[in-house]
A = this chain, B = another copy of it.
């Protein structure tokens, strides 16, 4: 059994980690931390877990993680805190999956432009970007994984095979994303007030969302040249789920089947990516509560454009699920361990 700890267990991503790890056959969840709820029982904060999780939240301390012989720590904190905690954990031999943005960027300057000064720049180069299907081999040997943002996961999985194979014009990429409200976290604000969200739909942070440089850095690395894409996030009045519609010009002469073939090939050994056949399109309801990324696509002849649709659960494949998938890969477990719950019919 692997001993695991979660730092920041009471936000939505942290609580989703608790859900998954508490049912993981190869993991013992030993310690969970929370500043806000220190000394509270997890099941008092999340009553759904009554009778299922007996843990209490503690303030984080490195020494506890060491004395508990934690093998792997998940940091589910706002950015900035992880870069303070993680160097100590790594020095103590604890592997880390960080769900914040702190270790997603290779280019520290980009990170600093969009977030804040980085205090652990030397650790950055050790970190592997945890897009599990793409960086599987590097993740196997990583001690620190920077878990991707939810939007980047939904944008990159469908795009990377096409960029790798140069099947689309790289300067025509537009990603129109729609996210459920849990992506905004559990902090209270007017933005997440039921009455402000319910029966509404809006775009936000057009051209300024911090997930854009994350996507551009990863795509640029794959392409071997800088990529600039247009990214517009929208808020859907549902709790979970993210659907991204991507537009790009196809290279001349390519047909829908070529694209689908490329995609099927790329993900032939990826159990969580489901490439849909012609005329079958993803729906966030098909992936709710699961680690799947569903991909559908359509080539439009009259305009020469490709339309890609991806769907994930933002809290699972977009956060906690992919984090556990990365842990599985780091620890030599089956990639799907603990992530095999069946989806609900409705």
Contact = CB atoms under 8 A, between A and B. Distances in A.
B186 A195 contact: yes
A3 interface: no
Given A341-B341, A346-B239, A48 B200 contact: no
A206 B283 contact: no
Interface string A288-329: 111010101010101101010101000100000000000000
A196 B207 CA distance: 30
Contact of A181 (B49, B195, B303): B195
Contact of A19 (B16, B19, B51, B343): B343
A300 B202 CA distance: 18
B194 A228 contact: no
A315 B345 CA distance: 10
Contacts of A345: 12, 15-16, 18-19, 46, 48-49
Nearest to A206: B298
For the side of the interface on A, what is the size category? Answer: 35 or more
Interface in A157-211: 171, 174, 176, 178, 181-182, 186, 188-190, 192-204, 206-207
What copy number does this chain have within its complex? 4
A230 B200 contact: no
A55 interface: no
Given A232-B245, A234-B178, A342-B52, A194 B198 contact: yes
16 contacts: A19-B344, A48-B285, A48-B286, A49-B343, A174-B174, A194-B239, A198-B237, A199-B241, A199-B285, A201-B236, A202-B243, A202-B282, A206-B309, A229-B303, A230-B303, A240-B346
Interface of A: 12, 15-16, 18-20, 22-23, 46-52, 171, 174, 176, 178, 181-182, 186, 188-190, 192-204, 206-207, 228-230, 232, 234, 236-241, 243, 245, 247, 271, 274, 276, 280-290, 292, 294, 296, 298, 300, 302-303, 305, 307, 309, 311, 315, 340-346
